[in-house]
Amino acid sequence: MPLDHYVTLGRSGLRVSPLCLGAMTFGEDLGWGTSVEESKQIIDRFIDLGGNFIDTANFYTKSHSEKIIGDHVGRHAARRDRLVIATKFSGNLYPGDPNGGGSGRKSIVSACDNSLRRLQTDYIDLYWLHNWDVHTPIDETMAALDDLVRAGKVRYIGVSDTPAWKIVEANVTARFRGWSAFIGLQIEYSLLERTVEQELVPMALELGLGITPWSPLKSGALSGKYTRANVGQVKAGRGPFLEPFLNEKTFTVVDELETIARAHESTVARVALAWVQAKPGVTSTIIGARRLDQLEDNVKGLDVKLTPEELGRLDALTKPTFGFPQSMQPIFPSIHNGGTTVNGVHAPTSPFTLQKGEKPY
């Protein structure tokens, strides 16, 4: 699938490229990241290849990420209007100001205006709640976001890093009140992070939220750069995010990715991205390329089509163990189906089922 084969985000009409350019590393303000010049080159190359979806946040690299995007494309109306620019609120840039972050109305309106200023645009295509603010009622957040949509400052809204039950409350509340509802779900999702498959992924499928995974290579652990052979020898640029995952479990997954990559004449990173792209509900995977060559390599992941057998091998290596109530689901067909087959699922009757000749009380 080329980068210019667009897909609609969730149950909306917003067309986005199947890979999204993540801009968290734009700017070197945190001591690591991508220079302004190379960030611009990455943006240009992504657009040249057909990509139209760029994701940032108000406090990435202390707000420099938004400014880089604004300086390079936001101020040029013709270029900006061809792009889907997404940014986030919740992050607090202002020490000592309790209303500088979170999801209250005061914070949201201020954050939106500041993002518009830095991005040098008069509208945000997709405005994400960055992470759940436990101190703010969700109806206050949704009402404030709907006001921004009605004012024309925001086109669509999405949600990131929030429990499934809270997202359901938000969207059901919005729909009953005629407000804009979340159309996208941004979550960490990779071969090494699959706990989202217990609640968040099924919720997104049920409500029609398009999933945009972040960290599909688990901060580089699945990039192919780190192996058993060089463990401890290759310096990790994002050490605290990466080093806890350089272990036997990861290396076993990397070994399998290498085997599959050889069969496809591809790379470990591309195969890991192809696995994420193949998961149900995934619309556009966020790739956080820090260098131009990483972007070139990651985009080629769209060319990798894994077979059901290869997907099965990778799934089996990292299959998550679900807690209650999903842990009970295997026995439900016996309880529900009375020994029949329903939608292709068959199970013997449970011991509680009436036997031949018995009658219910």
Cα–Cα distance, 293 to 313 (Å, whole number): 29
| Residue 276: predicted pLDDT | 98
Q: What is the pLDDT of residue 210?
A: 98
Cα distances from 195 to residues 51, 137, 175, 323, 326, in angstroms, run 29, 26, 28, 10, 12
Strands 345-346 and 341-342 come out as: antiparallel
- Please tell me whether residue 286 adopts helix, strand or coil conformation: strand
What is the SS3 assignment for 108?
A: helix
Residue 16, CA distances (Å) to 56, 99, 278 in order: 15, 33, 17
Q: Which residues of the chain have pLDDT under 50?
A: none
Q: What is the β-pairing status of strands 19-22 and 345-346?
A: unpaired
Amino acid at 124: I
How many residues in the chain? 361
Q: What is the pLDDT of residue 236?
A: 57
Catalytic residues: 60
SS3 of the chain: helix, strand, coil, percent, to 5: 45, 15, 40
Closest CA to 236 of 250, 225, 224: 225
**Helix axis angle, 138-150 relative to 164-177, nearest 10°?**
50
DSSP one-letter string for 231-246: TTTSPPTTHHHHGGG-
DSSP at 221: T
Task: Please identify which residue in the block is written with the tokens 């310096």.
Answer: 235
Fill in the DSSP letter of residue 126: E
CATH topology of domain 7-322: TIM Barrel (3.20.20)
Query: 181: Cβ–Cβ under 8 A, 6 or more apart, which residues?
Result: 142, 157, 170, 171, 174, 175
Is the CB of residue 288 less than 8 Å from the CB of residue 22?
yes
Q: In the prediction, which pLDDT does 36 show?
A: 97
Q: DSSP letters along 301-357, please?
A: GGG----HHHHHHHHHHHPPPP-TTGGGGGGHHHHHSTT-EETTEE-PPPTTSPPTT
pLDDT value, residue 324: 95
Q: How far is the C-alpha of 335 from the C-alpha of 323, rounded, in Å? A: 19
How far is the CA of 296 from the CAs of 18, 215, 323, in angstroms?
Answer: 15, 17, 39
Report domain extents, the chain.
Answer: 7-322, 334-361
Q: Are 236 and 220 in contact (CB under 8 A)?
A: yes
